[in-house]
Amino acid sequence: MNEDGTSLLDVIDKTISPMGSRMLRRWILFPLKDVKPIEERQNVVDFLFRKPEIKELLENQLGQIGDLERIISKVAVGRVSPREVVQLKVALKAIEPIKKDLHRER
């Protein structure tokens, strides 16, 4: 963190969802050490650069998914509200186009 309170995470976090922000934070705090998973991440980045339409679909759909991790954890402990159940339905529907397009690209 520098003098004005800005951290590396603040500068590079361009994630679309709270889940993405948490994942990026984990990746910064716990960097990979093994080459294979690093190369797998690089392959995903390369894929998204070569397929901008898939990247755009992911960005659009992830915006609709919201904080799925939080909702699922609330469901698991039985503290989910009706509004969150509706959010869960929207999130699950938003995942479907991602699955279809990624399976098509295999």
Cβ-based neighbour number of residue 101 at 10 Å: 15
Model pTM score: 0.80
CB environment 49-88: b (16+ within 10 A), e (fewer): eeeeebeebbeebbeebbbbeebeebeeeeebeeebeebb
Fold of 8-105: MutS, DNA mismatch repair protein; Chain A, domain 3 (1.10.1420)
**pLDDT (0 to 100) of residue 101:** 87
Query: Is residue 5 predicted with pLDDT exceeding 90?
Result: no
Q: Are 17 and 66 in contact (CB under 8 A)?
A: yes
**pLDDT, tens digit, for every residue of 16-73?**
999 999 999 999 999 999 999 999 999 999 999 999 999 999 999 998 998 999 999 9
